[in-house]
Amino acid sequence: MLRAIVSKEIHDNLLNLRFSVGFVLCVVITVSCLMILTHDYSQELRDYNLRVLMQEEFLSKYAHTNRMGGMLDPQQPPEVFRPLIIGIPRDADLGSFDDNPLPAIFPPLDLLFVVTVIMSLLAILFSYDAVAGERESGTLKLMASNSLSRAKILLGKWLGGSVSLLIPFVFSILAGVLYIMLQPDIHWDSSSWAAFSLLVLASVLFISLFYLLGLLVSAWSRLATVSILSSIFLWVVLILVIPNLSPYLAAQLYRVPSVNKIERETHSITGIERDDLGRKLSGEVRKKFERQYGQVFNDYLALSKEELLRRAAADPEFKAMIDAYRAENRQAWDEANRVQREKAEKIYNELILRAQRQTTLAKRLSCLSPYADYVYVATDLSGTGLRSLDYFSRVSQEYYGALWPYLEKKSELARKKDPTFNENSFLDVSDRPRFQYIEEPLKDRISGGLLYWGVLLFFNVVLFAAAFVRFIKYDVR
């Protein structure tokens, strides 16, 4: 009998006008937005390759210590799931040479929008009259008068309604992914396909959740009109109100100092105060050498570069004095940098810690909405969310941990070969360690989002249990 109820629900939904409208709407929007995002991904990939090439060319010609700066920063390629989910924009995306401001006002569609807005509304549209509507038509009374248990009736409605609702979604997402796979720039490995499968599973849980929400509200309503209005109200609260309100509540409950204030303070410490301390320590070194070497040291300060090279080559003691002075002067500035950097880092780390705590609080508050839980799961799986930002930051720090010792060693060798080497001298860094971005392992992304998976599953169980308890007591007359 359960199979008969499921078949009836699917049959009724397929013949209903809302299924046809929902199918066309879902297919057109999903496939269209995935095609657009696929084009954007190809452009971002070309921009990434161009940035890497420009970085190589610049460093091969202008690798001076005072010029390299950000040109040594690691470059992150666009995520393989960018054709599906936009996620958090990266600073690197500024290299796309796109001056169109409209996407900032009207964000482009992606899979998250399709699932969280279109499919959740369709779920409510499919389920709002599943109980109240059939009570009004008399169908529910006829079903209850037979030997069917109410548990089977409710389970059949949920299964049949969910299957009929997932038909347009699965068809749309498969058509979109087929188009993505036809692109020569996109290649998914086994890990990507596993992440995609889990993403579809999370989407099914989210869609089922809102179908159960409509089913629960319908079981609480006597009229289908009341059911649809109540369902839409709950949709607004869960999709729009709670996720958008949680950051503001977290900001009020856990305040963070102004970023501009912190930047002004740290800039003063690492700029003006550092220069003052560096000049003071460097002046002490200079006075020390003036007392120790007298006129010889003053001659060194007055010599041109060519004269300095000739005299250093002819006089080993003079060269030893130069090397000693350069080393102590460098140590003085390093000490100034260290002292002021520690002060700035202490202030900045405190800001980061407080900001992280505020973000954590906002995420916990937003978990009351299944919308937020699904977004966290989807962006973690696709590598386009907050977790991926933290991961890229960690691997970048590991890269810097290998790069800075290399630069220090390279500069030290250059100073030994050339006494006049300074920050304006060219440094050959062609053999430097290269940054190779490897995305976070899938098992780590899954384990990091287990809480959100659990909340989505919990919502499904609780809503079904609540609908069951209410339907058992429902008056079918």
Yes or no: say if 441 and 83 are a contact pair by the CB < 8 Å rule.
Answer: no
Long-range contacts of 311-317 (CB under 8 A, 24+ apart): 312/419
User: pLDDT tens digit string along 146-178?
Assistant: 777 888 888 988 999 999 999 999 999 999 999
Q: If you count them, how many residues does the chain have? A: 477
pLDDT score, position 90:
61
pLDDT score, position 104:
55
Query: pTM score, two decimals?
Result: 0.79
Q: Report the greatest alpha carbon distance in the chain.
A: 114
| Rounded CA separation 295/321 (Å) | 12
Q: Is 64 helix (H, G, I), strand (E, B) or coil?
A: strand
Per domain, the residue ranges of the chain are 2-253+444-472, 259-417
Q: Smallest Cα–Cα separation from 345: which of 251, 274, 435, 423?
A: 274
Yes or no: say if 214 and 127 are a contact pair by the CB < 8 Å rule.
Answer: yes
Yes or no: say if 365 and 252 are a contact pair by the CB < 8 Å rule.
Answer: no
pLDDT score, position 102:
53
| Rounded CA separation 205/189 (Å) | 25
User: pLDDT tens digit string along 35-53?
Assistant: 999 998 999 999 999 988 9
126: phi then psi, degrees, rounded to nearest 5: -80, -25
| Rounded CA separation 183/35 (Å) | 10
3-state helix, strand and coil shares in percent for the chain, rounded to the nearest 5: 80, 0, 20
Residue 383's identity, in one-letter code, is G
CB atoms within 10 A of CB 192: 18
The per-residue pLDDT string of the chain (477 residues; one tens digit each, 9 = 90 and over) reads 778 888 888 888 888 898 999 999 999 999 999 999 999 899 999 999 998 898 888 888 887 777 776 778 888 888 899 999 988 866 544 344 445 555 556 666 899 999 999 999 999 999 998 888 888 888 777 777 777 788 888 898 899 999 999 999 999 999 999 999 999 888 899 999 999 999 999 999 999 999 999 999 998 988 889 999 999 999 999 999 999 899 888 888 888 777 677 777 777 777 778 788 888 888 888 888 888 888 888 877 887 878 877 877 888 888 888 888 888 888 888 888 888 888 888 887 787 888 888 888 888 899 999 999 999 999 999 998 888 888 998 999 999 888 888 888 888 888 888 877 777 788 888 888 888 888 899 999 999 889 999 999 999 999 999 999 998 887 777
CA atoms within a 13 Å half-sphere pointing along the CA-CB vector of 249: 13
